[in-house]
Amino acid sequence: MNKKTLVVLCVLGFVVFLAVTTYLMVGNRKNRVEVCMEFQGRTMCKVASGPTKDDAQRAATDAACALIASGMTDTQQCSHSRPVSVKWLE
């Protein structure tokens, strides 16, 4: 295999990689949600998406709680508490 063929194959491989990554990211946006959580006087809102509504809401809740709770016990308590707000996005 000569250098020119190798370069062309690398470029094509990179383009295919970008296309697959973009498809997976955009295809997963069917269920987008913004969840606001409050824990120990701190509030955080996060947007997430997932293949199902439950998955999207869990991802947003976990992301928000990760930033306002400290330690595993607090994070679990935050994640299992009721959200301040849940807003479904299109």
**For every one of its 90 residues, what pLDDT tens digit does the chain have, with 9 covering 90 and above?**
788 888 777 777 778 777 767 666 666 568 999 999 999 999 999 999 888 999 999 999 999 999 999 999 999 999 999 999 999 997
Identify which of 80, 85, 69 has the alpha carbon closest to the alpha carbon of residue 34.
85
The answer to the question of residue 19 being in a domain is no
4 vs 1, 10, 11, 43, CA distance in Å? 8, 10, 11, 55
- 68 is in which domain, residue-wise? 31-89
Residue 37 lies in a domain: yes
Residue 15 in domain: no
In a domain, residue 4? The reply is: no
Q: What is the pLDDT of residue 27?
A: 60
- Predicted TM-score (pTM) of this structure: 0.70
Residue from 20, 74, 26, 3 nearest 62 by CA: 74
Residue 12 lies in a domain: no
Identify the pLDDT of residue 9.
Answer: 79
In a domain, 14, yes or no: no
Number of domains comprising the chain? 1
